[in-house]
Structure formats: structure tokens, C-alpha cells
Amino acid sequence: MNKEKTFVMIKPDGVKKGLVGEIISRFEKKGLALLELRLLNLSREEAEELYRVHEGKPFFEPLVEYVTSGPVVVMVLEGEGAVKVVRSIVGATNPQDALPGTIRGDFALTIEENIVHASDSVESYERESSIFFSD
């Protein structure tokens, strides 16, 4: 099997709505192991590094401003096919396209405040998690 790690961040809207426990529970109930967990306020530099793949796009600056506007929870999860499994639990980036039963389908209304960020590949996990966790 393909045991791998992935990075997830519960964004300020998820923390503000009190969804941290619910979100972590969904991952754990699926069988993913929670390896690292931190509650923090992102610096502008951390936010820019996390979202650097979107630098230059029109939504980059509002996204950086948003994710630095309040506390977030960052975590590392591990399990079989963790990247794909987490992304299916999280749902489509745009909550209007996210299926009911997914985190975004159940709790988010807009793409600007879509509750969570999840790595889209093992390579992204390695880059993103290194911003917040040391090996």
C-alpha cells in the first residue's frame, strides 16, 4: 500500500466557527493518523510562502490577508493514500461545487472562506509542512 503524509490547515473561518474538533474527527474516523498539530497566527511571510504558487494571481493578496486575519490550525496527517483521501474528505475548492458530506460542502459558502487548505501532492506536502514543522 501507499502510506504517505499530507498537510492540512484549518483556516480562520473554520477556527472561528468552532469546527476544529469536527474536522480532525472526520480525518481520524477515516483512519488517518494525526502526527503534528499546532494552533498559531500565520505571519505574512508564512502565508506568502504557503501560497507562493498563486503569487501574481488576482486572489493572492486577499488570500494572504485572509489567512493572516485570525488563528489557524496546521497539521500533518498520515495514512494510505493520505493526499487523495484528505482531498476527497475536504471537497472541491469552490464550496458551491463541493458535495454534501465533504467539509467544504457541509460548512463553507464561498471560495474566499472555504474552511481548509489541503496539500494537492506529496511534493506540496513536503514544501508546505516544512514551513510549520521541522523533521
Instruction: Examine the residue annotation and report whether 54 is marked as an active-site residue of this protein.
Output: no
Q: What is the rounded CA–CA span in Å between residue 121 and residue 128?
A: 10
Q: Residue 6, SS3?
A: strand
Choosing from 10, 117, 125, 128, the catalytic residue is 117
- For Cα atoms 77, 87, 118, give the angle at the middle one, nearest 5 degrees: 60
| Residue 8: burial class (beta carbons within 10 Å; 0-12, 13-18, 19+) | buried
Residues labelled as active-site residues: 117
